[in-house]
Chain A
């Protein structure tokens, strides 16, 4: 599939945010991206020309925010609204191999939907298998973070990123500690590592593993920042690649060579969107 034919849907409900910059990131890669309210997919209260179906999209994205206020477990409200109305459609979407990206709140929604980690390769499940729990600091953490790419091949979306490469992708969340087994953090790491489902881990400027707070902003076991499903077409991550899509957004660009005078230079988050698009180009 060619980029200029590719249709990207960035899905929101009330309380979602980051949709404009996420759609803009996909657009700048030459795709057709639009923000779509869940109600447009459900054909509720919208004019006919704004009605959409999942089939209208080749890439499905849920971005950051506090969907529904996140007044219960983060992502749970959005996930349950999808589950009650689009479960089969979305399951079909994932199983057909189309890519799905969930960032921050979007990651939380995908976990609540059972789309991640999806240990049995079901696509979606009735009950979540994991949770993104409260940060260790027990508060919201907005700060620069560095991610190391650790996936050995399962993740098709990040296949073009070299193993061990470190990228600046900022974090901003209150519930980002991934747990499969609340009482046994080591088992979380082992299960996902055995399946090669871990994609990104938090690191520092020297590329160290198992880094402490604040380099690991939430205390996730193994420093897990992003994971894939077994089939490798779903990526969920806590840090925000759209916030380092360009180099001018980097927290430290003034001390790492400044900015060149020609067109905007891509930032470290760029590769993640590029990966989604490249995968879709090849697979669809």
Chain B
């Protein structure tokens, strides 16, 4: 790090003379407070003064100095990334324990019942900091990490999901802060990384999303999720079973890449991060990973594993300790045989390296040969590297010297902080703007907003159909003219019709204005997207991306969002399958907007009943489900027109629950021909998107929606407000005239608002108010704008000239 140190700490780091490899004693007992902090910084282990003092106390009791291996291990174990020291209080208060009975197991990934014989596995986590420094490698290794998490539960990965967040693509080079990479470069790098890794390991990338916001310019966010499927009897635990069991290290070699990844993930990025942090980004290798998955699943099938854990943050240090500690046991580890990428790594480097594609198996001594045989078949390198012992101690040896000895309760305990919190909600100010003169132009500009426009530039680069389980594709409609899908549906078990629907949701323009209602809007949108295809929400995975928790207002944002997620899950009766916290997404310029990104899984009882978003036939009826209110806080229209104020769309959870169930029932009964949720850009954009995929026009009259929807006055909404308000818990459905009575009856009985607004047909999308035409646009023009907006911003030759 280029900072000047005011204290001389060299005297505190003493090279051991009794060994001929690099090993140092750290003289904590002689150090002043300043020196303790300087040591932590110099070693790059990210420990605070209090934590350094805790370490000193421990070693004083042991009457010896710690080695560098031990201090590095503590830095890993106590990082925010590994022990959630800042976020734990908020999570304990609002998220932990909700419908926990639905979780069969939650270790590296969460397992939830799919049917009587199967679990599905879910994991969602962030790979933000590495991707900001090295977008291609950072994103690729993020996928590697979640795949391992799912595999080590004993599950076959079946889907990858990637919610991505970047600064505006149209940002001028001159407005780019020093040390920051352009959002276009970052997005292209990240998408290429996901493509080249995900496609190569043969797991489909089926959902995700790309969100653009100024707040991500200096800190892009890369969240990666994975869903797996497994037979119930194949469940594997991330812990040892008995003393005497053997550790087998397999997969990729250990190198200097990925050193200090977790401590790096737990600090703010600075202008100098580029130079200082490159070694923290791991290198991915899908062609090592792919056989590792095969080997692990074969081992699961053969049934000889006692435990299995993947190498994630903290590397060998975390894996070796946690496998034993979670079983109330200890372990002895030999570093000598660990396969290395290059010779000459110091023991501390081997111990904390986060190199990719590595797994640890725990097997009985008599099964070692069988285990090694499986690895040989798949050309996967494997070595025996330690054993489980009957005392809660971790010992590490290198060249027959003990280089680390910890009581496991000390090193895996980890501190928890109750940091100060500030939650300021600003008083509501109603937005005020004149009705725009040209609503047709407004709709086109909304469709060209990169947050709304088609993400097909990325989607077509991801293989979303490998494994041949994809039943509803991410883009839906007429070939070459597809519109957006609400959720992708997989049929994961060969002889059953049950399906899994997957969606990823968060709108940071809402959360930055109101972390609570914004996060609840994400729960609402996820529930809507699932219901639209005919799926009932089953579980939520959350990845909480926030700024520096040492700043009270940032931690206040986290609290607000987490409280909303808890309220939402409780009301909907679903558990959190997997959670991840990524803090310090903040640079010297700005923090990211609060981004509690959600990956939500729903269950489809019979995929043969699923609905898609594309309009099907001319002459069908179009209905709006739900109420339209004056809700423009954080809306796409607000971004476009630049007005201030407005209420962030709110959710009545009871209404959401009832409405989603009714929509699912109407899909299951095959009463709807198409269904699409109303979100960014409101009714106007949603109608356009359904017309795009179906290649059929529609006429929609807004007279009967938004009545009494002006939350300030109780009056009716203006036409532009009816078209573009972003109120939650709304869908559009297309209904055959023959099903009119049945549909209206179903919604009436369920007490869910349903308004007939128009008919499908014709070459244009037409909006009217009480019979009077407001504007019309040809479907082809609407499609061209929506489909090619992002490609045009990227200057992509294969976008813009293609199918109309």
Contacts and interface: CB of A to CB of B under 8 A. Distances in A.
Contact of B465 (A66, A172, A215): A172
B798 A261 contact: no
B409 interface: no
B704 to A, nearest CB: 28
Contact of A69 (B200, B379, B470, B472): B200
Contacts of B616: 254-255
B268 interface: no
Nearest to B533: A254
A64 B607 CA distance: 26
Interface string A248-273: 11011011001111000000000000
A228 B287 CA distance: 30
B257 to A, nearest CB: 18
B516 to A, nearest CB: 37
Contacts of A71: 287
A142 B479 contact: no
A172 B203 CA distance: 13
B373 A204 contact: no
Given A137-B798, A142-B465, A259-B608, A252 B479 contact: yes
A145 B482 CA distance: 13
B480 A214 contact: yes
B468 A243 contact: yes
B377 A15 contact: no
Given A21-B468, A39-B377, A255 B802 contact: no
A87 interface: no
Most buried by A among B199, B467, B491, B612: B199
Interface in A1-42: 14-18, 20-21, 24, 37, 39
B476 A254 contact: yes
B608 A255 contact: no
A135 to B, nearest CB: 9
Interface in B607-628: 607-608, 610-612, 614, 616
B278 interface: no
A248 B607 contact: yes
Contacts of A69: 200, 286-287
A205 B803 CA distance: 13
A255 B760 CA distance: 14
Contacts of A240: 465, 468
Interface stretch (B78-86, B237-245, B455-463, B738-746): B455-463
Interface in B188-210: 195, 199-202
Contacts of A65: 200, 202
A153 interface: no
A231 interface: no
B285 to A, nearest CB: 8
A172 B463 contact: yes
A203 to B, nearest CB: 10
Given A66-B287, A140-B461, A215 B607 contact: no
Interface string A223-255: 000000000000000001011010011011011
B471 A18 contact: no
Contacts of B477: 252, 255
B803 A17 contact: no
A78 B568 CA distance: 51
B437 interface: no
Contacts of A66: 199-200, 202, 286-287
Contact of A252 (B465, B478, B610, B803): B478
A233 to B, nearest CB: 25
Contacts of A140: 195, 199, 460-463
B377 A17 contact: no
A254 B612 contact: yes
A142 B457 CA distance: 11
B378 interface: yes
A170 B472 CA distance: 13
A204 B803 CA distance: 11
Contact of A15 (B290, B463, B610): B290
A66 B471 CA distance: 23
A97 interface: no
A39 B295 CA distance: 14
Q: How large is the interface on A (under 10, 10 to 19, 20 to 34, 35 or more residues)?
A: 35 or more
A142 B460 contact: yes
Contacts of A245: 468
Contacts of A204: 479-480
A140 to B, nearest CB: 5
Given A15-B290, A140-B199, A254-B476, A45 B377 contact: yes
Contact of A258 (B472, B473, B608): B608
A248 B471 contact: yes
Interface string A133-153: 000110111111110000000
Nearest to B203: A17
A66 B467 CA distance: 14
A111 B687 CA distance: 47
A261 B480 CA distance: 29
A179 B379 CA distance: 34
Given A14-B290, A21-B468, A254 B199 contact: no
B657 to A, nearest CB: 26
Nearest to B378: A14
A184 B594 CA distance: 56
A185 interface: no
Contacts of A143: 460
A136 to B, nearest CB: 7
A161 interface: no
Contact of A214 (B195, B202, B802): B802
A14 B287 contact: yes
Interface string B83-103: 000000000000000000000
Contacts of A139: 195, 461, 798
A162 to B, nearest CB: 21
A37 B482 CA distance: 38
A30 to B, nearest CB: 16
Given A45-B377, A46-B377, A255-B612, A15 B467 contact: no
Interface in B363-388: 373, 376-379
A173 to B, nearest CB: 9
Contact of B611 (A46, A212, A214, A254): A254
A100 to B, nearest CB: 21
B299 interface: no
Given A14-B290, A140-B463, A146 B479 contact: yes
A245 to B, nearest CB: 7
B428 interface: no
Contact of B802 (A213, A248, A261): A213
Contacts of B31: none
A262 B199 CA distance: 34
A139 B467 CA distance: 21
Interface string B338-377: 0000000000000000000000000000000000010011
Interface string B542-577: 000000000000000000000000000000000000
23 contacts: A14-B287, A14-B291, A15-B286, A17-B467, A18-B466, A64-B202, A65-B202, A69-B200, A69-B286, A136-B798, A137-B797, A139-B798, A142-B464, A143-B460, A204-B480, A243-B466, A243-B468, A254-B472, A254-B612, A254-B614, A255-B478, A258-B608, A258-B670
| CB-CB nearest 5 A-B residue pairs | A17-B202, A21-B468, A69-B287, A259-B608, A137-B798
Given A50-B377, A243-B468, 4 more contacts: A17-B467, A39-B379, A45-B377, A65-B202
